[in-house]
Structure 1
């Protein structure tokens, strides 16, 4: 087990890709602390983990207070994985009333970008002491204008920059990398509170899986578990010892237009 005796903190690990990464970490021998807002998702994750060493801190994974509590709960932190995010459901700047645009942009960028930075800030002393690593969850939208609207896409482009700058900021003590998944089934990825879409998920869009597969070189739609190997690799202090400032694209390859 490549992650045996590691202690990993995952923000937003109760569903989708974060959940898949969490379960993969546990199977590889890590002790995992997850921050998860949904009590339903937290309960399901605990059930799936069974007797594996998982602790779930219920609360908003972008809250400094909740994250500080999670850091105290975890104690030693060898690896921080940030998976918190909201989706804009392809909202168009052309169509949004300006008040909705401002509220949606603030929610998107605060959750998707600032939330990761707050998590790193909270975990930094423990990561430094452990000479650990950080993995941020990006998206194919950080490389191509697909997979979301301008608000979501710009937040993921920002995270791409965060990987680069943070890898310098935390060097040489802590490695910083990212995983950029392509379109994925079964994520239960929710929309924006600011647009009244908190209960909607990307899975409700008819024909979504078929459209994702058609846009990839491998002609397949990923499941959350398909991305987990990249997270495990980047968390491994031996296999990825000299890897920092890198984003792994797990998107099936972008098909030419």
Structure 2
């Protein structure tokens, strides 16, 4: 007997859901039957689609408390409630950790850690009586050396700690989990991994032999949002193909190491 994930009647918000992993998540949630809202600072050229339906766009900077309040309020006004929050907005360009400005590091932590906390804080009153699922998009970088993305990795480690804390504080009505993503083939794939990304042997160290597709991250999110994960909270689910190609980390670091 097959098991299907049915999110019909559920209302979802995917931050940063207009491209990359976020768009993949939104498309999967749409196919599962959810009404999906996506947000980013700027309107996209194309919105995620699934099952003949399209995600609804809302402009918002999730680092700004007033804009987050407006975002949550507009989702509720349009759809009557909120059941699933996916904190996907984040990321960081590769930089030399030793020389980049303190302001840059502060902005990376703000986007990848403080913004998800803000979104969850503002969504909690809406979801408290209704119940639901909050999902943080983390990274395997939270648990290993992360050359050129030090502040990002530290913020993601904090995000996983936040996941465990909110799971305790928001239980039992709202479940809070995280998905730790490994190498994923997004629009920024080459930017993040540099020349190594074009190496035919780049994925050799991944047991499954390839980067993740964005919708494969979406499958994990749909599971965590569904009743099938009804007894999971405070957990971090790794979607990394069995592990990252650690030998490549040294090559990535070398590409960004300043010349003598």
TM-score (norm 2): 0.83
Partner of 1:23: 27
Shift of 1:256: 7.1
Contact 1:183 1:212 in 2 (8 A): no
Shift of 1:116: 0.1
Q: Deviations over 1:200-227 (max 9, x none)?
A: 9437x22316465133122211221221
Once the two structures are superposed, the pairs formed by residues 153-168 of structure 1 within 5 Å of their partners are 153-168=153-168
1:207 aligns with 2:209: no
Shift of 1:248: 0.7
Contact 1:21 1:225 in 2 (8 A): yes
Aligned length: 237
1:50, 1:44 → 2: CA distance?
Answer: 16
Check 1:160–1:59 CA distance in 2 against 1; reply closer, same or farther (3 A cut): same
1:221 to 211, 217, 241: 211
Partner of 1:242: 231
Larger Rg belongs to: 2
Partner of 1:142: 142
Q: Deviations over 1:32-85 (max 9, x none)?
A: 11111122x2x4016x45952632101213222222222122210111100111
Partner of 2:91: 86
Q: Partner of 1:10: helix, strand, or coil?
A: strand
Contact 1:17 1:187 in 2 (8 A): no
Partner of 2:8: 4
2:179, 2:218 → 1: CA distance?
Answer: 9
TM-score (norm 1): 0.84
Shift of 1:28: 0.5
Mean alpha-carbon deviation: is it higher for 180-189 or for 166-175?
Answer: 180-189
Partner of 1:71: 72
1:50, 1:244 → 2: CA distance?
Answer: 28
Partner of 1:114: 114
Mind listing any 5+ residue stretches in structure 2 that lack a counterpart?
248-260
Check 1:8–1:206 CA distance in 2 against 1; reply closer, same or farther (3 A cut): same
2:65, 2:215 → 1: CA distance?
Answer: 29
2:147, 2:160 → 1: CA distance?
Answer: 15
